[in-house]
Structure 1
Amino acid sequence: MYRQIRLHDDDTTFHRILWRDDPSEEIREYGMKRLTFGTNYAPCGAIQTVRDLAETNEPTYPEAAKIIKKDIYVDDIISGSHDLPSALRLQKEIIEIFKSGCFDVKKWASNTNELLEVVPPEDREVSIPLSLNPDKTVKTLGIYWNSKSDALNFKFKYDTDGPLTKRFVLSNIARLFDPMGLLAPITVKAKLFMKRIWASQCDWDELISSVIADDWKKFVAQFTLFPSFEIPRWIQTTPDACLQLHGFSDASTDAYGAAIYIRCVSEDGVISTRLLIAKSKVTPRVLQTIPRLELRAASLLALLMAYVLRSLRHHHFDPTSIHFWTDSKVG
């Protein structure tokens, strides 16, 4: 991606490198004409270039330009449509926009063969026809997606080689990447383990206590279930569906959190409910009252709901369709 973006001539003097092919040669100085991977400016420059490209083409391709500006993370685009004809049109427009900037869009993946058939085989991330093999997944921003079953799943590689120290446990906890909080019941337990280890005041490379170590081994034994754990990607939304958002918050002396569900009622009256996003946090080490923790949970829910409403910009939610729930009776 970076190599496709040329620097302005006035900026090349600030992107210099020193080079020689042999230690006996005199060092030569070069000015880079392209964005260089590893420089602080490169990600920002690349993202801004793509945004400028979308804005330039917005009068011609308004919907595709909006997708490029809103549904992109550096060089990954994750988006979709309610029907195949509009998806094919958006796909063509996105390709045209990037082609105008000399970008080739690669690694196409879809849950529909028709969207892949219009793309050259070398530009596809998955094969046609879509494989039934559950291991054939595409990694999308850290989460694995099986395009055939149209489900999200998680893979966790636990490191078993090493002493159970604070550093070792934290290294394994960091591998639990769950940006949407779909594994919140699991990740919050991992956070609580870290809190217990931190409270024990052991050093980074000191063995944790036998009690915590036994509990940790029981906890990681559950990770063998990860490959069979799948979450449907589609939340059953359609243009004519009646949508509601329900947010729940709760707190305890150990942790507090919030979760938001979407409730969809189709035209024929079929009701479906899906978890959209969740967030959990461990309580501070400084003891706090339950009312204070319940307030923290409610505040977290409000921030989470605001984020969801910004993200679901394609759907209109009437204020009466947004609900907040808490079991706190503290006045």
Structure 2
Amino acid sequence: MSNSRHAINCIPVDEWAPSLRELQGSPLPTDRALGVQWDSEKDEFLFQLQLLETTATRGGILSSLASLYDPMGFVAPWLLPGKILLHDLCRKMVTSDETLCEADRKTWQGRWLSLSKLGDIRLPRSIRGMHKGEQSELHIFADASEVGYGVVAYGCSSRPVGRDYNSILFAKARVAL
């Protein structure tokens, strides 16, 4: 799979993947790369979630959070509040199939609704390389509180003429113990 039609056309058609043979002349497909969806036509990562309404239990929350595979940490800010709630439920010794109290259930519903908005996020896949006259920098930000901590790394490049470019490279968030 490639997002370059020129590269695809350099390969004999009989060696193309079956999914590409059907697309001659059509937009390139969305595929999986690095654990997330990749729109190869626009060269962007996107998050197509199929969040099912889960029961308001600790096990239901765990199942929902575990279903979101995010190795690059792009959606870490949306997952952390749910993980904090899960941590609090464990601390309260709530069992996996026990129905949550009203306050915890409302908290989870709010988190679940924010997770459902992840389908609107699109991030550019490309990371610009260093070109003549271009200055590239790595920016790393970290923050912590009593309940969680996180870090994010951005690649930033600026050109003497033209637009600056920033790209998220990696992020992580953890529940504080």
TM-score, normalising length from structure 2?
A: 0.86
| Runs (5+) with no aligned partner, structure 1 | 1-108, 285-331
* 1:115 counterpart = 2:7: yes
- 1:163 — aligned with what? 55
Q: Which structure would you say has the larger RCO, counting Cα contacts within 8 Å and 6 or more residues apart?
A: 2
Any idea what SS the aligned residue of 1:247 has? Answer: strand
Q: How far apart, in 2, do the equivalents of 1:182 and 1:163 lie?
A: 26
Residue in 2 that maps onto 1:129: 25
Higher helix share: 1
Contact 1:193 1:216 (8 Å CA) reproduced: yes
Note the C-alpha offset of 1:141.
3.2
Q: Which runs of 5+ in 2 are unaligned?
A: none
Match of 2:37 in 1: 144
Instruction: Check conservation: 1:130, 1:148, Cα contact below 8 A.
Output: no
Cα offset for 1:143? 0.6
Indicate the percent of aligned positions where both proteins have the same amino acid. 25
Q: Identify which of 17, 22, 47 aligns with 1:154.
A: 47
Change (3 A) 1:121 1:266: farther
Which of residues 165, 181, 187 in structure 1 aligns to 2:73?
181
Give the Cα separation in 2 of the matches to 1:210 and 1:113. 53
Q: Does 1:207 find its partner at 2:103?
A: no
Q: Is the contact between residue 78 and residue 115 of structure 2 (CA under 8 Å) also seen in structure 1?
A: no
State whether residues 43 and 126 of structure 2, in contact with CA within 8 Å, keep that contact through their aligned partners in structure 1. yes
Structure with a larger share of its residues in strand: 2
Hey, what's the Cα distance between the residues in 2 that align with 1:154 and 1:121? 31
The answer (yes or no) to whether the contact 2:79–2:115 under 8 Å persists in 1 is no
Correspondence for 1:268 among 161, 168, 174: 161
CA distance in 1, matches of 2:125, 2:84: 29
Structure 1 residues 172 and 233: CA distance shift in structure 2, 3 A: same
Counterparts of 1:1-331 in structure 2, within 5 Å, are 109-117=1-9, 118-120=11-13, 123-124=16-17, 125-126=19-20, 127-131=23-27, 136-160=29-53, 162-240=54-132, 241-266=134-159, 268=161, 270-284=163-177
1:167 shift after superposition: 1.3
1:54-73 per-position Cα deviation (integer Å, ceiling 9, x unaligned): xxxxxxxxxxxxxxxxxxxx
Aligned in 2, Cα 1:164/1:122: closer, same or farther, shift over 3 Å? farther
CA RMSD of superposed structures (Å): 2.0
The structural deviation recorded for 1:173 is 0.5
Q: Is the 2:148–2:175 contact (alpha carbons within 8 Å) kept by the matching residues of 1? A: yes
